Chain A
Amino acid sequence: MIEAKNLSIDLGEFKLVSVNLSIETGEIFVVLGPSGAGKTVLLETIAGFYSPDEGNIILGGELANDLPPERRNIGFMFQDYALFPHLTVEENILFGTRYKRIEGAEEKFKEIVDTLNIGNILHRLPRTLSGGEQQRVSLARALIVEPQLLLFDEPLSALDERVRESLRDELRTVLKRMNQTSLYVTHDQTEALVIADRIAVMHDGQIVQTGKPDEIFNAPVNEFVANFVGVETVLEGKVISHHDGIAVIDVGGVEVAVAADIPMGGTVLLGVRPESVVLGTVDKVRESSARNNFEAKVTKLTPLGAVVKVGLDCGFPLVALLTKQSIEELGLTEGRKVLASFKATAVHAIAK
């Protein structure tokens, strides 16, 4: 287990204010926040590049404040990968094995190279590699020394959209397979949602909320978190049936249809964008192609300029975004019963 207790540091431009974190072994912990929030400073302090003004860093039960970086056994993945330009891919990956005794280093090397599919570029120099390849090499170099914690500083932000999406899923799969305890910082909500076991939202050097992804997205503790993560509904559920490309997910007793290939029995996170939710009155049932129709109670109306955010309870929390005109035409008030609908294709499913 990795812990940060009341960690504070002031570097002028960036700071940490009494940060508390604890990361379980094998857990992927994401710190989410806007740029300038102090995310990178947090990683650099935990890695040992800075010593904290106050507070403690505890690695596996031992105080690590005074350990130099090379004795902390913490890996670091930089945004631009920081590959050694004068060494080949193979030399880069094996760099750390000279300093840390790794049991079965050769097999480990082969295993990692196979997993990350970089066997064909081992003799190339970093500057001849694509961004995605550099990312894999950098990950291999960090994984081979078996760090007790691996730090990620926005490792996907330098890649283009398409590569980023496929690497995002792959990264989680690899980290989970190797049971690699990780601390990952990003400013991208979707990335956090896909990768995280737990999320901490950071603002001005402080952690403002820590929780599971659905808790952060559905129950933001303050306005900053709400605005930053957006109003997307995030639900956790289990796959109970799977048929013709439509998976049915049990979300706290309510069944939600999702157009996605997800294996049975697994846990999934579902994301529903508030603009995809359509509301109608209960008494006038209309035929529609939407596969998900729920009777719901309006719990809260929040005006956001030209649109109104509608909080709903349909056995699970759901958020819809409506124009003022629609609210008036439907005569929506808090406590009213409505029919909430969204299409199976409007649900974004993330297998965990």
Chain B
Amino acid sequence: MKFKRSSLMYYFFSLIGGLLILFILLPLLHSILSQSPPILLKEATDRGVQEAIFNSVFLAAVTAMVAALLGVPLAYILARRNFFGKSLVESVVDIPLAVPHTVAGIALLFVFGRYGVVGGPVEKYLGLRFVATRLGVVAAMLFVSLPFMVNSAREGFESVDVRLEQVARTLGATPFEVFRRISFPLAMRGILTGWVLTWARAISEFGAVIILAYHPMTAPIKVWDTFTQLDLRHSSAVAVLLLSVCLVGFVSFRLLAYGGMRKGNGK
């Protein structure tokens, strides 16, 4: 009796799970299948669309790099140290997840705008501008995607046994050497996951980017722009093009990263 009831539960749970998967796939498949080939071809060969897709993919990758450079050290500290105000720092890291992205965009504009506390001096002394530049796109993408990097990398570091680091110290390695040869390689899986999540989140960002840098256009903005300039059919063609590029990138990166990682990852 008991066995039958539990197996019934698994059928029921699988049914619910299946609905969820369908909920994700159906809209995406529908947009792909309902395309008119001529419009798709026209948009695919459009210079502006190509540029927008390149901007999204490339700038999101740059964002993920910057996020890794800035996020990994913080993640290591959060994973290994206890200090006064740690939970406050943890909350701050998660804030971008809760802030509506248009709100984030406006807040960023005030600070990184031409007369903002950061934007002003940076333009004056370094000659760099955030508003309507690729730098601005990266800043907006970074703001909304950084939590993914920090949290994943932190989980990666937490999965590394502290005793491995301690034993490396007794063998003569300094804290930085321990980080370089033990903690970092062993947390690589978490860091790569963070990188992929950050990249994916950055590509999909619309709200914050549109406010800080409408131009140079990224793909989500191009979709919006095409919708307002032309119609839904054209904009959905752009959407499907971006979608395909993202899926191909996402899937191949996962295969590459995790396929090669399986060997060395112990814990």
Query: Closest CB-CB distance, A139 to chain B, in whole Å?
Result: 12
Query: Closest CB-CB distance, B188 to chain A, in whole Å?
Result: 9
Please state if A96 and B172 are interface contacts (CB–CB under 8 Å).
Answer: yes
Please state if B265 and A86 are interface contacts (CB–CB under 8 Å).
Answer: yes
> 26 A-B contacts, Cβ less than 8 Å apart?
A44-B166, A47-B166, A48-B169, A49-B166, A69-B169, A69-B170, A70-B173, A70-B174, A75-B170, A76-B167, A76-B170, A78-B163, A82-B163, A82-B164, A82-B167, A85-B164, A85-B186, A85-B264, A96-B172, A96-B173, A98-B173, A100-B171, A125-B264, A127-B266, A142-B170, A145-B172
Contact of A145 among B171, B177, B182, B267 (CB under 8 A): B171
Collect the chain B residues with CB atoms within 8 Å of residue A76's CB: 166-167, 170
Contact of B171 among A44, A80, A85, A95 (CB under 8 A): A95
Collect the chain B residues with CB atoms within 8 Å of residue A72's CB: 170
Report Cα–Cα, A82/B178, bound state, in Å.
14
Judged by a CB distance under 8 angstroms, whether B168 is at the interface is yes
Collect the chain B residues with CB atoms within 8 Å of residue A147's CB: 170
Known A86-B266, A126-B266: A70·B182 in contact at CB below 8 Å: no
Please state if A84 and B164 are interface contacts (CB–CB under 8 Å).
Answer: yes
Query: Closest CB-CB distance, A47 to chain B, in whole Å?
Result: 6
Collect the chain A residues with CB atoms within 8 Å of residue B171's CB: 70, 75, 95-96, 99-100, 141-142, 145
Central interface residue in A70, A80, A98, A100, by most chain B CB within 10 Å: A70
Contact of B170 among A70, A98, A125 (CB under 8 A): A70
Judged by a CB distance under 8 angstroms, whether A74 is at the interface is yes
Secondary structure of the B contact surface, majority rule: helix
Judged by a CB distance under 8 angstroms, whether A265 is at the interface is no
Within 8 A of A (CB), among B174-194: 174, 177, 181-182, 185-186
17 additional contacts (CB under 8 A) given A95-B171, A127-B266: A47-B166, A49-B169, A68-B169, A70-B174, A74-B170, A84-B164, A84-B168, A96-B171, A96-B173, A98-B172, A99-B171, A99-B174, A100-B171, A100-B172, A125-B266, A141-B171, A142-B171
Collect the chain A residues with CB atoms within 8 Å of residue B186's CB: 84-86
Judged by a CB distance under 8 angstroms, whether B231 is at the interface is no
In this complex, how many residues of chain B approach chain A with their Cβ under 8 Å: the count is 21
Please state if B172 and A70 are interface contacts (CB–CB under 8 Å).
Answer: yes
Task: Render A117-150 as a binary contact track against B, CB cut-off 8 A, 1 for contact.
Answer: 0000000011100000000000001100101000
Task: Render A14-48 as a binary contact track against B, CB cut-off 8 A, 1 for contact.
Answer: 00000000000000000000000000000010011
Report Cα–Cα, A80/B164, bound state, in Å.
10
Report Cα–Cα, A227/B171, bound state, in Å.
38
Collect the chain A residues with CB atoms within 8 Å of residue B182's CB: 84
Judged by a CB distance under 8 angstroms, whether B161 is at the interface is yes
Task: Render A77-102 as a binary contact track against B, CB cut-off 8 A, 1 for contact.
Answer: 01010101110000000011011100
Report Cα–Cα, A73/B163, bound state, in Å.
17
Report Cα–Cα, A82/B266, bound state, in Å.
11
Please state if B163 and A99 are interface contacts (CB–CB under 8 Å).
Answer: no
Report Cα–Cα, A99/B267, bound state, in Å.
25
Query: Closest CB-CB distance, A274 to chain B, in whole Å?
Result: 40
**Closest residue on chain A to residue B186 by CB atoms:** A86
Within 8 A of A (CB), among B60-86: none
Please state if B266 and A47 are interface contacts (CB–CB under 8 Å).
Answer: no
Report Cα–Cα, A126/B264, bound state, in Å.
10
Collect the chain A residues with CB atoms within 8 Å of residue B164's CB: 82, 84-85
Within 8 A of B (CB), among A50-64: none
Please state if B170 and A95 are interface contacts (CB–CB under 8 Å).
Answer: no
Query: Closest CB-CB distance, A140 to chain B, in whole Å?
Result: 12
Query: Closest CB-CB distance, A147 to chain B, in whole Å?
Result: 8
Central interface residue in B161, B170, B177, B182, by most chain A CB within 10 Å: B170
Report Cα–Cα, A82/B166, bound state, in Å.
9
Collect the chain A residues with CB atoms within 8 Å of residue B161's CB: 82
Within 8 A of B (CB), among A280-303: none
Q: Which 7 A-B pairs have the closest CB atoms?
A: A85-B266, A99-B172, A96-B171, A69-B169, A86-B264, A82-B163, A76-B170
Report Cα–Cα, A95/B182, bound state, in Å.
10
Please state if A78 and B167 are interface contacts (CB–CB under 8 Å).
Answer: yes
**Closest residue on chain B to residue A72 by CB atoms:** B170
Collect the chain A residues with CB atoms within 8 Å of residue B170's CB: 47, 69-70, 72, 74-76, 142, 147
Report Cα–Cα, A72/B167, bound state, in Å.
12
Report Cα–Cα, A98/B182, bound state, in Å.
14
**Closest residue on chain B to residue A141 by CB atoms:** B171
Within 8 A of A (CB), among B121-163: 161, 163
Please state if A70 and B167 are interface contacts (CB–CB under 8 Å).
Answer: no
Collect the chain B residues with CB atoms within 8 Å of residue A78's CB: 163, 167
**Closest residue on chain B to residue A153 by CB atoms:** B163
Report Cα–Cα, A125/B267, bound state, in Å.
13
